[in-house]
Amino acid sequence: MITSASNPRLKLIRRLRSASQRRRLGLFVVEGEDAVQAALAAGIEPVELLRAGEDVETTLLAGLSEQPHPPRVVAVFRRADLPCLTPSDNVSLGLALWHVADPGNVGTLIRTADAFGAFVALSPGCGDPTSPKALRASAGAVFRVPLGDFDDAPVPRVALVAHGGEPIGEVDLPGSVTFVLGAEREGVPAEVVARCDAAATIPIAEGAESLNVAVAGAIALYEAARRYPGAAR
C-alpha cells in the first residue's frame, strides 16, 4: 500500500501531467475504470496500475487527478502500444487532421472514427491525443483507433471546406477515402486543399457561420459509410 506522496510511482504520474514529459517518456496517464478497461480489452497492458484503497491510499490517488470527481483507478500506458497507422495498412476510411489544436475536438474525432471503423492521422500542431482532455473525449476509443501521421493518410483525399466545395451529398466519393479537416478558425489551408483530390462542403443554413470540426468529421464519415457500408475496417 502506497502511503506517501513522494512514492516514485506517484511522482511519475504527476510528471506526466506535462505534455513535454509525455513526449519525452512516451507515456501517458489514464483515469477511470471504464477507460482503463477499454485499454485492457484491447490487449494493451499498463506500465502502472493503481487502485484506490488497494495499491494506494484513496486520498493520495485523488490528489493526482484534476477531475471534479477523482477516479478510483489510474493507469500509465505507453504511447507506442496504441494502434498505429502505417503506409502499408489496407485501410479504406479515415480522417486526416490539419492543425486541429483543441484536444477535446481531437478526442471527439477519435471517438467518431471508432464508431465508423476509421483511422485518424494527425499533423504537427494537432492536440495531443493522450492529453487528459483528449482521452476523456475519446471515451476509450484511443485504444482501438489506428493513429498515424498526416502524410501517411492514404489517398484519395477529400478536403472539407466551409465554403466553395462541392456539396458533400453530390461529391464523387470513392469506396476508400480520407477526409481532411482543418482547425476551427483557419480550416484547411489552400495549399493543403490543392494536394487533395476533391473539396467538399457540408451545406448549412443561411446565416450560419460553420460547423464544429468534430461535427463536420462525423457527417463526412456517415456520408461515406452510408454510400459504402463495407468501407469500415
At 85-141, the pLDDT tens digits run 987 677 789 999 999 999 999 999 999 999 999 999 999 999 999 999 999 999 999
Beta-bridge partner residues of 198 = 158
pTM of structure? 0.93
Bridging pattern class, strands 73-78 and 48-51:
antiparallel
All domains of the chain, ordered by start, with CATH? 8-81 (3.30.1330.30), 93-227 (3.40.1280.10)
Task: Report the chain's mean pLDDT, rounded to a whole number.
Answer: 92
Distance of alpha carbon 32 from alpha carbon 30, whole angstroms: 7
Stretches in the chain below the pLDDT threshold 70:
88, 230-233
Gyration radius (Cα) of the chain, Å: 19
Phi-psi label, residue 192: left if phi above 0, alpha if psi -120 to 50, beta otherwise? alpha
pLDDT score of 232 = 59
Beta-bridge partner residues of 179 = 95, 158
Q: Which of 124, 123, 147 is nearest to 135 (CA)?
A: 147
Beta-bridge partner residues of 49 = 75
- The alpha carbon torsion through 53, 56, 58, 62 (nearest 10 deg) reads -140
pLDDT score of 186 = 84
Q: At 2, list the grid cell.
A: 502506497
Q: Which of 27, 149, 157 is nearest to 92 (CA)?
A: 157
pLDDT score of 230 = 66
- The alpha carbon torsion through 134, 181, 96, 28 (nearest 10 deg) reads -10
User: What angle, 0 to 180 degrees and rounded to 10, lies between the N-to-C axes of helices 103-115 and 213-227?
Assistant: 10
Cβ neighbours of 219 (radius 10 Å):
16
Whether residue 33 contacts residue 72, with contact meaning beta carbons closer than 8 Å, is answered with yes
pLDDT score of 174 = 84
